[in-house]
Amino acid sequence: MENGNSPSISAIPKLEKKLLERIGNSKVSLRIMHVCGTHERTIAKNGLRSILPKSIEVISGPGCPVCVTPEEDIDIAIVLARNGMTVVTFGDMMRVPGSSESLLDSKSEGADVRMVYSIDDAVALAEKKPELEVVFFGIGFETTIPANAASLLRNTPDNFSLLTSQKRTPPAIGILANDTEVDAFIAPGHVATIIGTKPFEPLAKKGFPVVVSGFEVRDILLGINMLQIQIEEGCSRVDNGYPRVVKQEGNQVALEMMDKVFETSDSEWRGIGRIENSGLVLRKKFEEKDAAKKYKDIYASFVKTIRKEAEIKDKKCCICAAILTGKAKPPQCPNFGQTCTPKSPVGPCMISQEGMCYNWLRYSREGGSRLA
Ligand code: SF4
């Protein structure tokens, strides 16, 4: 099942075939949303949409961390880089456009922007180069946030700070449940590894069946069938389809570290807007490490300049907002595969390997869906 273009049924392994039979035998039709770029990658790469029965539609929500990072936060990182800070972040994040340009564009204009693989690399750079003011632009979901917390609980050098654009997954799913036509949710297994299954319970209480799934083809098929079973039983609950990794209570050590360092705040999501309690910012105790506070005077006025630059730039229409909320599919975008490709991305969904446009273009123009 390596090809996104309709794998032949005889090539499907036994267990997956059995799960497909069970899904096909169920009379339950479902429109399911997953909220994870890794799930989308497995689905597109293996052409799952082409082998699922027509009664099952799987759509993607906001599962890619760089895709949901708002332009405003990227603008702040760019202003800091333009004003002498050394801004370090993940490779994909460097390519995502803010309102005027990306961090990579700023780098090509002379700003000190560097790629790192983790916050630890950023701290190591600050230790090695005390003459630099190192700002780690920390984005992502509950999967990467514990590492940020762990670093800050150790002593970091004075010339290190964190610009956070960290997101909590459950509040965003809650908003989508109200806004999008969807019957059930596949919750991300890696996020649930940290936070457990309980934070998804309010969704089930609203009447949406939820299953926490892993990332193999069989995990996703099992998850779909578990959702059908909930509907057949006439209930909605949170099922754990990834028990080899996920515990109901999550990872207590990681949760405690996160709680010591961060507190919840409202947060802006690209394509969705402001969501109550969906962000994690540094607690007062760590404000010296908070780049948003430390450099506020520097970026406050310059961000306006960037917005003005944006107004005079010819922005190509990008429908990532609709894609991130399950309201559109990549081929509906006129730029898809034309003016927007992974080498020359127009919007964030074409940049990361977790982006929906990237996966649909790379593995199949239809995201492994039925063409008819
Ligand atoms: Fe945006 Fe490109 Fe996707 Fe269109 S194809 S929605 S421009 S990322």
Every domain of the chain and the residues it spans: 9-64+170-240, 67-167+251-312, 316-363
Nearest atom in ligand 1 to 351's CA: 8
Phi/psi zone of residue 338: left (φ > 0), alpha (ψ -120 to 50 degrees), beta?
A: alpha
Centre of ligand 1 to C-alpha 59, Å, is 16
Taking only the tens place, the pLDDT of each residue in 207-230 is: 999 999 999 999 999 999 999 999
Q: What is the mean pLDDT of residues 66-85?
A: 93
173, 203, 225, 236, 279 from 207: Cα distances, Å: 13, 7, 17, 5, 25
Q: Does ligand 1 lie within 6 Å of residue 320's CB atom?
A: yes
Q: Does ligand 1 lie within 6 Å of residue 321's CB atom?
A: no
Model pLDDT, residue 370: 42
Q: Is the pLDDT of residue 309 over 50?
A: yes
Centre of ligand 1 to C-alpha 315, Å, is 12
Q: Is the pLDDT of residue 343 over 80?
A: yes
Q: Is the pLDDT of residue 302 over 80?
A: no
Nearest atom in ligand 1 to 316's CA: 7
Model pLDDT, residue 371: 37
Least confident of 39-48, 258-267, 362-371: 362-371
- Length of the chain as a residue count: 372
Mapped onto helix, strand or coil, the DSSP state of residue 137 is strand
Q: What is the mean pLDDT of residues 112-128?
A: 97
CATH topology match: 9-64+170-240 vs 67-167+251-312? yes
Centre of ligand 1 to C-alpha 40, Å, is 16
Radius of gyration of the chain (CA): 21
Q: Is the pLDDT of residue 175 over 60?
A: yes
Taking only the tens place, the pLDDT of each residue in 89-106 is: 999 999 998 888 899 999
CATH number of 67-167+251-312: 3.40.50.11740
Q: Is the pLDDT of residue 267 over 60?
A: yes
| 9-64+170-240 classified as CATH 3.40.50.11750 | yes
Model pLDDT, residue 1: 44
Out of 40, 324, 325, 346, give the residue to mutate to test ligand 1, the one with the largest number of ligand atoms within 8 Å of its CB.
346
Residues of the chain above pLDDT 70, percent: 91
Nearest atom in ligand 1 to 356's CA: 3
Nearest atom in ligand 1 to 323's CA: 6
Q: Is the pLDDT of residue 372 over 70?
A: no
Name the pLDDT band for 4 (thresholds 50, 70, 90). Answer: very low
Mapped onto helix, strand or coil, the DSSP state of residue 138 is strand
Dihedral of the CA atoms 254, 256, 258, 264 (nearest 10)? 130
Centre of ligand 1 to C-alpha 351, Å, is 9
Q: Is the pLDDT of residue 182 over 90?
A: yes
Q: What is the mean pLDDT of residues 282-304?
A: 88
Taking only the tens place, the pLDDT of each residue in 43-70 is: 999 989 999 999 999 999 888 888 999 9
Q: Is the pLDDT of residue 200 over 70?
A: yes
Q: Does ligand 1 lie within 6 Å of residue 175's CB atom?
A: no
Work out the mean pLDDT of the chain and round it to a whole number.
90
> Whose CA is closest to atom 7 on ligand 1?
318
